[in-house]
Amino acid sequence: MNLFKIIAELEKVDPEVMDRLSHRRSALSALGDFSKKMALAAAPIAVGSAFNKAMGQNTLTDANGILNYALLLERLEYSFYDQALKAATLTGTLTGAARTAIETIRAHELAHVNLLTAALGSNAAPAPANGFDFGSAFATYPGFLTVAQALEDTGVRAYKGQAGNIPRTLNPTVGGAVVNLLTVALQIHSVEARHAAHIRYMRRGATAGAQSTIFPWINNADANGAPAVVYGAGNPVATFPAESNLAQGGISNLATGLGTTYTVEDVSAAFDEGLDNTTVTAIARATATF
């Protein structure tokens, strides 16, 4: 059995095969059977029907579209932290190391805005004319952190959802230097994940209510008070499953499919899932008016 070879070959025909295989139960059990060297004859039919499905519905296809989408999210995040740091309602609680961390995160988001703007040049979309209105997001410290967690986890899912759409050989000149756009996207992606983990850790602190059931990683699709849609499935679900997803790389259930039994919490937490731009944009518009 050589899953690697099979998937690599299938992907030459269908670039989305990995996603499709992961979430089509019939194809999954077929591949599972492969690993036990069973049902070899029947399997290709199931696999074939799996990758005949319609392509994904992510509406972004060109690099500028992806970059402008990322730019909107970064502008939103920057504005969110900037407003939080200036909010009178948070001056008594957002203090000390917590304030320093949020200031650092704000600086990162601004750097991301600047880099994306530079990369886009004259193709950069204008910032929303009236800025971002986050409503009552800054009324309390725990409430602020809840929204922050939602935005950061959404950001991680957004970048992950686009990574495969960025040509790996796209090396534009930004600020006089050649950069690899995919690597830059992955570098920002991991910064957003560090932000998300740190915000989650802050929520475990006493000021935020000592919420010890919140972890730096995402167990199941636990929303921890954030909107459930942030951790739910996107569109199409086969490409963008919920964070509770247990199927990876053609194995239908990693909790039981790797020879040893693992908990569903550990399996779901061990993999973050991408999200399509339509769902991400809807989350953004539910979080802020712009």
Partner 1 sequence: MRRRSFFQVAGATVAASTLVLAGCKDTEVVQPTTTNVLNLGSNDAGVLNYAYLLEQLEAAFYQKVLDTPPADMPKEELALFTELRDHEVIHREYLKELLGANAIPTVEFDFTSLTLTTRAGVLAAARTFEDLGVAAYNGAGKLFTSKAFLVAAGKIASVEARHAAFIHDLAQAPAFTGVVETSGRYTGMATALTPLQVIEAAVKFFPFTVITSGLPTA
Site residues for partner 1, window 240-259 (CB under 8 A)?
248-249, 251, 254, 257-259
Helix (H) or strand (E) holding 189: helix 181-203
Task: Assess 19 for contact with partner 1 (CB under 8 A).
Answer: yes
Compare residues 34 and 138 and give the one whose CB is closer to partner 1: 34
What tokens does 53 get? 């499905």
What tokens does 118 get? 């530079």
Site string for partner 1, 45-84 (x = CB under 8 A): x-xxx-xx--------------------------------
Task: Assess 156 for contact with partner 1 (CB under 8 A).
Answer: yes
Task: Assess 201 for contact with partner 1 (CB under 8 A).
Answer: yes
- Which region, judged by CB under 8 A, interacts with partner 1, from 56-64, 79-87, 226-234, 272-280? 272-280
Site residues for partner 1, window 102-141 (CB under 8 A)?
104-105, 107-112, 114-115
DSSP characters for 157-169? HHHHHHHTTS-TT
Residue 177 CB burial class (10 angstroms; 0-12, 13-18, ≥19): exposed
Residue 174: beta bridge partners? 177
Number of residues interacting with partner 1: please give it, by CB under 8 A.
90
- Which region, judged by CB under 8 A, interacts with partner 1, from 16-24, 56-64, 133-141, 220-228? 16-24
Task: Assess 15 for contact with partner 1 (CB under 8 A).
Answer: yes
Helix (H) or strand (E) holding 26: helix 25-35
Task: Assess 264 for contact with partner 1 (CB under 8 A).
Answer: no
What tokens does 207 get? 């000021």
Site residues for partner 1, window 176-195 (CB under 8 A)?
177, 179-180, 182-184, 186-195
Task: Assess 289 for contact with partner 1 (CB under 8 A).
Answer: no
Q: How far is the CB of 168 from partner 1 (least distance, A)?
A: 4
Other Cβ atoms closer than 10 A to 42: 11
Task: Assess 263 for contact with partner 1 (CB under 8 A).
Answer: yes
Compare residues 73 and 156 and give the one whose CB is closer to partner 1: 156
**Among residues 248, 254, 270, which one has the least CA distance to residue 21?**
248
What tokens does 26 get? 């019939």
What tokens does 216 get? 């730096």
Among 85, 174, 242, 282, binds partner 1 (CB under 8 A): 174
Q: What is the largest CA-CA distance in the chain?
A: 68
d(CA 47, CA 2): 15
